[in-house]
Amino acid sequence: MMPLDRDAASADALLTDLYLDALLAGAVLDLVNAGPAGASGRLDPATARAAERLRHDLVRVHPSFRFEERLATRLAETAFGMHIPLAVGGDARLLPFPARPASSPPDDLVPPDIRADAAELVDLDPAAHRERTRPLLIGGALTSAAISLAGAAFVAWRIGRPGRTATPMARAARAVREARLAAATAVRPLDSPAVRRRLD
Amino acid sequence: MEAAQRDPLAFDALYRRYLAQVYSYAFYELGDHHEAEDATERTFLAALTNLGRFEERAQPGDGDGASTFRVWLFQIARNAVSNQRRARQRHPQAPLEAAALVADPLDIEAGAAARAEAASAWQAIGRLPADRRRALVLRFVEEMSTAEIAGILGKSEGAVRVLIHRALRSVARHMEGRER
Which of B140, B158, B164 is closest, CB to CB, to A55?
B140
Q: Report d(CA A184, CA B110) in Å as an integer.
A: 79
Q: Find out whether B161 and B138 touch, Cβ atoms under 8 Å.
A: no
Q: Report d(CA A86, CA A78) in Å as an integer.
A: 14
Confidence of residue A7 (pLDDT cuts 50, 70, 90): confident
Q: Report d(CA B24, CA A63) in Å as an integer.
A: 8
B 106-135 → A contacts, CB under 8 A: 117-118, 120-122, 124-125
A 159-188 → B contacts, CB under 8 A: none
Q: What angle do CA B113, B118, B124 make, to 5 degrees?
A: 130
Residue B5: its H or E element: helix B2-6
Contacts of A82 in chain B (CB under 8 A): 8, 48-49
Q: Report d(CA B91, CA B10) in Å as an integer.
A: 37
Quote the minimal CA–CA distance from B172 to chain A in Å. 5
Quote the minimal CA–CA distance from B130 to chain A in Å. 16
Q: For the segment A169-181, what is each residue's pLDDT rounded down to a tens digit?
A: 666 667 777 777 7
Q: Judge if ipTM > 0.95.
A: no
pLDDT in tens, chain B (180 residues): 677 766 767 788 899 999 999 999 999 888 889 999 999 999 999 999 998 888 877 776 776 667 788 999 999 999 999 998 888 765 544 444 444 444 444 455 555 665 666 677 778 888 899 999 999 999 998 889 999 999 999 999 999 999 999 999 999 988 887 666
Which of B37, B46, B171 is closest, CB to CB, to A54?
B171
Mention every residue, 6+ apart, whose C-beta is less than 8 A from residue A171. Answer: A165
Q: Find out whether B102 and A59 touch, Cβ atoms under 8 Å.
A: yes
Q: Report d(CA A157, CA A81) in Å as an integer.
A: 14
Q: Find out whether B73 and B24 touch, Cβ atoms under 8 Å.
A: no
Q: Find out whether A58 and B121 touch, Cβ atoms under 8 Å.
A: yes
Dihedral, B21, B24, B29, B31 alpha carbons, nearest 10? 170
Q: Find out whether B11 and A79 touch, Cβ atoms under 8 Å.
A: yes
Q: What share of chain A is helix, strand, coil (3-state, %, to 5)?
A: 60, 5, 40
Mention every residue, 6+ apart, whose C-beta is less than 8 A from residue A49. Answer: B172, B175
Q: Find out whether B76 and B18 touch, Cβ atoms under 8 Å.
A: no
Which of A10, A24, A51 is closest, CB to CB, to B158?
A10
